[in-house]
Amino acid sequence: MDRRNFVEFIIAWVLVLMGAVSILLPLFNVLNVKIVFMTIITLYGVIHLIKNLLILKTKDYSGFLTFFTSLVILILILKLDIVDNPLNLALILFIWIILMSLIKLKESDYYHDRKNKLWELNIINLLLFILTGILATVNLYCTSEVQILVLGFFFLINGILELMDPLVAYIINKEKKIK
């Protein structure tokens, strides 16, 4: 496994764990949606910034774009009341999904330009990301416990989708070496 795939693999597992921990938060009476959402977005942005710094030589800057997107969303979380108005929470998540979809589409184009078959997987992941994002956005109108669960499941699924790229790349590279 090359350095880029290894870093993406580790980052994806961290995102899966972050989603899993988010799902468990209501069991420990952590019910402040604003703090949970801010923490998730902050960690998501910082993790992708670290990823991009570790694979800087590949000239793939999606990690930097993800970091800046997370920074914009953090500012929106601070400005809008998401605790008492779930519409603001849904709006912020929807904006984040739109911005992340653009970044994921650019990453797919990056693979397509290099004639890498992973662009097809990235398009499928993009569509699944948008679908799960819309489903999560629609279901944010309940209690704070349910909101945290929905956010946790969304970020767990997002982590699993991000895990597919390095796994498939590893399998493809391993098959090329065998032949």
Alpha carbon distance 57, 88 (integer Å): 38
Distance CA 89, CA 141 (A): 9
Instruction: Report residue 107's pLDDT band, with 50, 70 and 90 as the boundaries.
Output: confident
Q: What pLDDT is recorded for position 73?
A: 96
φ, ψ of residue 143 to 5 degrees: the values are -70, 170
Model confidence, pTM: 0.91
| DSSP H stretches of helix in 55-140 | 62-79, 86-113, 118-138
The pLDDT tens digits of the residues spanning 38-62 come to 999 999 999 999 999 988 877 778 8
Find, among 178, 151, 166, the residue nearest to 19 by Cα: 151
pLDDT tens across 132-157, in order? Answer: 999 999 988 888 899 999 999 999 99
Interatomic CA distance for residues 18 and 10, integer angstroms = 12
Scored b (16 or more CB within 10 A) or e, 74-92 reads bebbeeeebbeebebbbbb
Q: What is the residue whose two structure tokens read 């992941």? A: 125
Domain boundaries, the chain: 3-178
HSE-CB at 88 with a 13 A cutoff on CA atoms is 16
